[in-house]
Amino acid sequence: MSIVSIVLLALTAVAAAPLYFRKYDGEGSGRMRWISIVLLALLGLAALTGVFGDIKLGAVGYSLTVLAAAVGGGPVTVAILQSSFNREHPENNTDVTESPVLRGGAWIGFLERMAISGTLLAGWPEGMAVVLAVKGLGRYSELGSESGAAERFILGTFASVLWAAATTGVGWMNVQ
């Protein structure tokens, strides 16, 4: 059953990968939510099958866990950010796509999830604090310059870290 779990983790990464090469647009926000639901379902199935697994996969399991954590979290994070957008707030634009975006956010999130998954799998959870400190210090000057930037940064970071930790937990069952 562990092999099924790893395959589901790989499918999670494969399903999310094409979205990194597209612009996250407002017209696709409904599609983004559905893709996020599918990714969460795949992660849940991977967890269920991993619990009952008896075959442990070493390096392959580690690699696919980090890949699923890094790639799969992007669409989920974007869907959460789009869902949290409040059109009625006086400082917000009328459309989520017109809202200012922090440059490089998708790729920074990708690397953040990869680093978090790697530190957790290496048995060094303190590494999460290092990753988040570097990210926060790197964005510090941008967070006060735009309306809502700090809120989007915090919400996106929480969603990203939770995805990485959950995916790593599922993968951990399959490599130990």
**What pLDDT does residue 1 have?**
40
Name the token pair of 86.
Answer: 């409040």
Position 54 pLDDT exceeds 60? yes
Position 96 pLDDT exceeds 90? no
**What pLDDT does residue 57 have?**
61
Residues 4, 113, 62, 52: is their CA dihedral positive or negative? Answer: negative
Contacts with 134 (C-beta within 8 Å, 6 or more apart), sequence order: none
**Angle at alpha carbon of residue 157, lines to 113 and 104, rounded to 5°:** 75
Where does the pLDDT of residue 53 fall: very low under 50, low under 70, confident under 90, or very high at 90 and above? low
